[in-house]
Structure formats: structure tokens, C-alpha cells
């Protein structure tokens, strides 16, 4: 088997058994990145990855056997890696060098990972297609004319094209699960608080989480085991014990909930048949399937597009042409520095979100929008809690259909916002969700199904996904 097709678990095993060296592994993956350069998934390959591989070989020769020993990883370009550029795919931050490591970076490095490079994304993680990147669109790994999804499109494409076995992305409203679905791989959005957000460039802090892409369930579970856990640098990180996610449980007796509102919503959508087939498959293999209700789930999308821009507005205020970012050279007064630098630094979608956010927070609109959205969020959280009294897991489509053509949604932003219709509820409720590859659309591109559980039950999700991967094989 070619090195680049190996999973992270296999790579580590072969390296520890001395069948491969880290250097060989890194060379093979960097070659693969070059081979598929035209997909524009990776913005930069880090020069020091070969040096780091050599150092790791020495460490391993001296007995080191970390959980990611010698495993090459690609990171989304909004995760700080000390000394490396972290641009968030924005012109504004194109030269910004990370001054320290995100906690997830420290964690993967201490387990022996080698970070190969940074992946393209929608600017500041706002978007669903990677078309909002200041550095060009990433292409779908299975159809060059289509988008890979977004905002973590580069990270998803990189895993699907074997540029690395695991990559890191981030989620605020679906940015890991949707591209995972479009690229035919696994994508996890963990429970809010499961993974530290320290060193992740904030979009909407109450929703943001690091997410994981992989081609196998095991690799995904392995990565979560490494990066989950509390962190004194992130007060929203949870003290909840980190499970041994690779120790899959027997899940045949679990009850799977099908929300009737989602069945209704999906009627007439390209995902409808595939969703039905998944439900039928569950029944055929003897899983108990139960109809449940998430009464207000259709309110999640408008709620998200109030809360996320509101938080983005305040998080992005720090990018002002004075700190971090590039400054307009003609500006003379402080006001002009702010105005001109922000006008030329931010892309169109980011500006739209900032305006939306300021609007919903402004006097007169705050009560009508922001406050109401927070109240709806409270309701959604309790509807999920009630639903999980009736079932162990909830399944629903990840996306409306398969990947769409590049440039096909240029005019109306609402068309793109609708992409998030099935994903945002997990973010609003703070619960974990894994998109698994299942089925194909009418153009032969992959579709995904998401498996959702109560907070901190990622182990149940992985166990279920593992069982389903054997059934589908
Ligand atoms: N597509 C959503 C948005 O544009 C989700 C983004 C994300 O999860 N980062 O806001």
C-alpha cells in the first residue's frame, strides 16, 4: 500500500515497528501535496517539516511512542502555530505570524505529530464553499468544477486527496461537517467545551469549536483523544473526563431518533432518498428507530445568522489596522486608519457579517433580534434534552445535497446560508455531531449523514459510526 493511503493509526504502527521513518512519511505526503497543488487546498507547506521529521525519528529511536508519533497533520489557517503565518485566508492577516501555539497544537506536537502546512478556508471561517478565501477557491477532490464545502474546505480536501491522514478544521455552524460530507470523509464537531479554543482565531466564541477530518473512524477518535480536555487558558473548556474514544462500545441496542421535522424539511431535497435509505438500513440491521420531535429546529438557521454575526462583530473589532493587520498607507488620522484598513483588508462576506452583527446589536434592534435569538437558543437546547430522553442518538442529513459548482451561488448570500440548514442545530445546542460518508447524489458526488448525541457522548457516536462503517463496507 502506498504511504499516503495509510491511516494515522497504520502510519504510527509502521513507524514504531521501524518499517517506515518519519522522514519517509513526511516526504511522501509533501510530494502528494505538490502533486495536487492545483486544488489549492494547502496555502503553505512548512519548510521545517522535514527537519521536524528527522528529530522525531531520533526521538522514536530513543523510545518515544506518542499517540501521533510521526503522523503528518495539516491545520486550518485560523489555528495559531508559533512562528508560522496564520492568515485566516484574509488579505488583512496575510503576513501575521502566530506569537504562540494554540493548545491543540501543543497537544498534537507533544504526542509526536508533524505539522505539514496550513489549509485554505473561507475568510475568517465565514462561508460554506471556500470561495470567500482571499487566496482563491479550493476545488472539490472528486470534481474539480465543484466546491469542497467550507469554511474548512482546504482541510477537508487535503484529507480526501491523501495529503495527510488527519487534518484540523473549525466549526461555528457546520464548517467541518459540511465539507466532510462534500469530500466523502468523516468530520467531527465535538461538544462545545470538549476542545480548548485557546489560540483559535475567534469567529463566534459561544459556538466555535475545533473539529477533526479523517478517512477512518479510528483516526478521528484518536485525534479527539489527543486534543480533548480542559485548559486553564480557555474558561469555556470542560473538566468532563476525556474518554478512551478508540475503545468502541457495543451499540446494537441503542435507540436512534429520527426527527419528524427533519423528515418533512428534507422532502423534495436531493438528500431525501439517501436519508430514507439510511433509515431503512438501520431497520434492516435491527437497530431500533424511533420518530422524535425537535419542534423548533427550523428556527436554528435564523437564530444562527443573528448570534454568529453579533459575536463576529465584536471579535473582529480587534482587526483595525493598528494591531495584527496590514495598515492602509495613505491614512492620516486614526479614524482613517480604521476605516481604510478595514475597507481594503476585509472581503465582502466578512463586511456583510460585521454589518449584520452591528445591526442586530444596535439599540432598538437588540431586543428584537439578539435577545430573541438567545431565547430561541434556550428552547432548542431543551428540545434536544427532551429528545435525548427518548433516544440515544439522532441522525439527519448533513447537507441538502452534493457539492455545488464553483461560482454557482454568487448573488444571493441567503442561498449560501441555507447550506447550513441541517448543521447549525448542533452548534446552537452545543451537542456533538459526526458527519459520516454515506451514499451518493445524482451527479455521483458523496453525501453525508450526521450522528448526533447528548453532550460529551462522542464515544457513543464513534462506536455507532464504526459499526455502520462495517455495514457499508
Ligand atoms: N457556513 C457557516 C457560516 O458561514 C458556518 C461557518 C463555520 O462553521 N465556521 O457562518
Q: pLDDT tens digits for 40-73? A: 999 999 999 999 999 999 999 999 999 999 999 9
Mean pLDDT of 207-217: 98
Distance CA 141, CA 149 (A): 11
Rounded to an integer, the average pLDDT of 197-221 is 98
Q: Report the pLDDT value the prediction gives residue 325, as an integer from 0 to 100.
A: 80
314 is catalytic: no
Calculate how far, in angstroms, residue 420's C-alpha sits from the geometric centre of ligand 1. 7
For 345-357, the pLDDT digits (tens) are: 999 999 999 999 9
Check if 470 is active-site.
no
Ligand 1 probe mutation, 125, 187, 207, most atoms within 8 A of CB: 125
Range of lowest pLDDT (82-86, 273-277, 303-307, 320-324): 320-324
Residue tagged active-site, from 14, 76, 107, 466: 76
* Mean confidence (pLDDT) of the chain: 97
Annotation marks residue 76 as catalytic: yes
Distance 128 CA to ligand 1 centre (A): 6
Whether residue 326 has pLDDT greater than 90: no
Which pLDDT tens digit goes with each residue over 446-471?
999 999 999 999 999 999 999 999 99
Handedness of CA 274, 213, 158, 147 (dihedral sign): positive
The minimum-distance atom of ligand 1 relative to the CA of 127 is: 4
Q: Is the CB of 128 under 6 A from ligand 1?
A: yes
Q: Residues 228-251: what's their mean pLDDT?
A: 98
* Active-site hit among 128, 129, 175, 237: 175
Task: Please tell me which residue, 139 or 419, carries the higher pLDDT value.
Answer: 139
| pLDDT, position 1 | 79
Question: Does 399 sit in the ligand 1 pocket, CB within 6 Å?
Answer: no
The sheet that has 166-171: what strands, in order across it? 42-45, 114-119, 72-76, 166-171, 209-214, 186-189, 433-440, 446-452, 393-397, 255-259, 288-292
Q: 250: number of CA atoms within 13 Å, CB side? A: 2
| Cα 383 from Cα 223, distance rounded (Å) | 30
- Alpha-carbon distance of 320 to 309, in angstroms, equals 17
pLDDT at residue 181 is higher than 70: yes
Reported as a single tens digit per residue, the pLDDT across 375-423 is 999 999 999 999 999 999 999 999 999 999 999 986 788 888 999 999 9
For residue 420 and ligand 1, the question of a CB distance below 6 A is answered with yes
Q: What's residue 410's pLDDT? A: 67
Q: Is the CB of 447 under 6 A from ligand 1?
A: no
What was the pLDDT predicted at 52? 98
> Is the beta carbon of 175 within 6 A of some atom in ligand 1?
yes
Q: Is the CB of 220 under 6 A from ligand 1?
A: no
Amino acid at each position: 500500500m502506498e504511504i499516503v493511503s495509510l491511516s494515522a493509526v497504520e502510519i504510527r504502527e509502521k513507524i514504531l515497528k521501524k518499517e517506515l521513518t518519519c522522514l519517509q512519511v513526511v516526504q511522501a505526503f509533501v510530494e502528494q501535496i505538490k502533486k495536487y497543488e492545483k486544488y489549492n487546498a494547502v496555502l503553505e507547506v512548512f519548510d521545517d517539516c522535514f527537519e521536524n521529521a528527522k528529530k522525531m525519528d531520533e526521538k522514536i529511536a530513543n523510545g518515544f511512542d506518542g499517540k501521533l508519533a510521526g503522523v503528518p497533520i495539516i491545520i486550518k489557517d485560523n489555528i495559531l502555530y508559533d512562528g508560522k503565518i496564520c492568515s485566516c485566508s484574509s488579505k488583512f492577516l496575510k503576513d501575521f505570524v502566530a506569537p504562540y501555539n494554540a493548545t491543540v497544537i501543543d497537544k498534537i506536537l507533544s504526542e509526536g505529530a508533524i505539522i505539514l502546512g496550513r489549509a485554505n478556508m473561507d475568510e475568517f471561517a465565514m462561508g460554506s464553499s471556500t470561495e470567500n478565501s482571499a487566496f482563491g477557491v479550493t476545488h472539490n477532490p472528486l470534481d474539480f468544477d465543484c466546491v469542497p464545502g467550507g469554511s474548512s474546505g482546504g482541510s477537508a480536501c487535503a484529507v480526501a486527496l491523501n495529503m495527510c491522514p488527519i487534518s484540523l478544521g473549525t466549526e461555528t455552524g457546520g464548517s467541518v461537517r459540511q465539507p466532510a460530507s462534500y469530500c466523502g470523509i468523516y468530520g467531527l464537531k465535538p461538544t462545545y467545551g470538549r476542545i480548548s479554543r485557546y489560540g483559535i482565531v475567534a469567529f463566534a466564541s459561544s459556538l466555535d469549536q475545533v473539529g477533526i477530518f479523517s478517512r477512518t473512524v479510528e483516526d478521528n477518535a484518536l485525534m479527539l483523544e489527543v486534543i480533548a480536555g480542559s485548559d486553564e487558558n480557555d474558561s469555556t473548556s470542560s473538566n468532563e473526563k476525556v474518554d478512551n474514544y478508540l475503545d468502541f462500545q457495543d451499540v446494537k441496542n441503542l435507540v436512534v431518533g429520527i426527527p419528524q421535522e427533519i423528515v418533512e424539511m428534507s422532502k423534495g431535497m436531493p438528500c431525501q432518498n439517501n436519508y430514507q435509505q439510511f433509515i431503512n438500513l438501520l431497520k434492516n440491521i435491527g437497530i431500533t428507530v424511533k420518530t422524535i420531535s425537535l419542534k423548533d429546529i427550523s428556527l436554528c438557521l435564523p437564530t444562527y445568522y443573528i448570534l454568529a454575526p453579533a459575536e463576529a462583530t465584536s471579535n473582529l473589532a480587534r482587526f483595525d489596522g493598528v494591531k495584527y493587520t496590514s495598515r492602509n498607507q495613505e491614512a492620516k488620522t486614526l479614524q482613517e486608519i480604521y476605516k481604510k484598513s478595514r475597507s481594503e483588508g476585509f472581503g465582502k462576506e466578512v463586511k456583510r457579517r460585521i454589518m449584520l452583527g452591528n445591526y442586530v446589536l444596535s439599540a432598538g434592534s437588540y431586543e428584537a433580534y439578539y435577545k430573541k435569538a438567545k431565547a430561541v437558543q434556550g428552547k432548542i437546547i431543551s428540545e434536544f434534552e427532551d429528545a435525548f430522553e427518548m433516544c440515544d442518538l439522532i441522525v439527519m442529513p448533513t447537507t441538502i445535497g452534493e457539492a455545488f459548482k464553483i461560482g454557482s451561488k454568487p448573488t444571493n448570500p441567503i442561498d449560501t446560508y441555507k447550506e447550513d440548514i441541517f448543521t447549525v442545530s448542533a452548534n446552537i445546542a452545543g451537542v456533538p455531531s459526526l458527519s459520516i460518508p454515506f451514499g451518493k447524489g445524482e451527479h455521483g458526488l458523496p453525501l453525508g449523514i450526521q450522528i448526533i448525541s447528548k453532550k460529551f457522548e462522542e464515544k457513543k457516536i464513534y462506536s455507532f459510526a464504526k459499526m455502520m462503517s462495517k455495514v457499508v463496507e
